[in-house]
Amino acid sequence: MSLARAYTNIALVKYWGKRDVAQMLPYNSSLSLTLDKFYTETSVEFTDQAEDQFIFEGQQQPVSAKLMRVLDDVRQLAGSQQKAQVKSHNHVPTSAGLASSASAFAALAVAASHAAGLELSRRELSILARHGSGSASRSLYGGFVLWHAGTDDQSSFAEPLSEQVDFPIAVIAVLVNQQQKSILSGAGMQAAVTSSPYYSAWVKTAEADISRMSAAIADQDIAQIGKLAETNAMRMHATTLSANPPFTYFAPETLQIWELVRQIRTKGLNCYLTLDAGPNPKLICHMQDVSKIVEILNAEIPNLTYTLCQPGPGAKLMTQ
Ligand code: PMV
């Protein structure tokens, strides 16, 4: 039995749209920060049982096509026919709203390959995790991570920009809504690719954002990182509003928080918002401003649930 742990990540420059759905190749490169507060632990054992088995939080679940894809890849690489028993557990601070397929598939890639006796490099693990979920390719690494879009299966992988982050960037994950999102990220991005006239502009600006964001990280410029992340996120969301039919991941509370974030900036505090395929915003700021920002948010929206995150580590094997 092999056990692995991987942490979730927040994209500062988003992955949004597949150029090749079967190969899981994205249109644009993306850049993320791995977070320290939420992780998945997954154990894998290959046995002579008849079928693959998936147990999530102690409950048996159907084996999804994505899970099967990663297990089949591992079997192929190992030259094995054995079936897998996969057990997975999410560690989430109370109501963090941070559940993510990124940590899940990164932990699976590490545990399954080790259980099959493979010794894969981190690049190979990143490619394997990508086959389950695009954002998982980035959770192999800690700190700031760049996923190169690439042109084929072997050239589309993530690598760290800086695994050790030695400046005080903070991410406040705000929970506005715990409900399951109605349009999953895969369906949402493909709707944008096929029906938004703004999609090509998204790809062009996202690629330009990668070099700007890399420079802001090198400069340790938290305000610039936040500014670029907010602009990039809103351009991603513009492709959903401009899809046919149009849709959005914004909830009323998301817009309320965004408005507050803009007000916070008028008070001279650097605070920026990013949002993925769901209504829960993540605020990017300096560690020293966290309590002031939370105080302002709480005064406007009482009983707000939030989780303070800092840069987190890469995926690791917990068994030897
Ligand atoms: O990895 P997926 O297929 O769940 O897609 C993730 C898409 C976003 O979270 C919206 C952006 C990103 O880069 O993580």
% of the chain residues with pLDDT over 90: 92
- Does ligand 1 lie within 6 Å of residue 240's CB atom? no
ipTM: 0.98
Ligand 1 pocket test target in 14, 66, 275 with most atoms within 8 Å of CB: 14
Q: What is the pTM of this model?
A: 0.97
Residue 13 CA, closest ligand 1 atom number: 13
Determine if ligand 1 sits within 6 Å of the CB of residue 249. Answer: no
What residues does 158 pair with on adjacent strands? 147
Q: How many CB atoms lie within 10 A of CB 291?
A: 10
Tokens 């259980």 map to which residue?
115
Do the domains at 2-164 and 169-309 have one common CATH topology?
no
- Only one residue has tokens 């709480």, namely 298
* 282-320 residue pLDDT tens: 999 999 999 999 999 999 998 778 999 999 999 999 986
For the chain, helix, strand, coil in percent to 5 are 40, 25, 35
Q: What is the pLDDT of residue 97?
A: 67
- Which CATH number is 2-164's, of 3.30.365.10, 3.40.50.150, 3.20.20.210, 3.30.230.10? 3.30.230.10
pLDDT of res. 302: 85
Distance 177 CA to ligand 1 centre (A): 18
**Boundaries of every domain in the chain:** 2-164, 169-309
The β-bridge partners of 274 are: 282
Give the tens place of pLDDT for each residue, 235-287: 999 999 999 999 999 999 999 999 999 999 999 999 999 999 999 999 999 99
Q: Span 169-309: which CATH code?
A: 3.30.70.890
Please provide the size of the chain in residues.
320
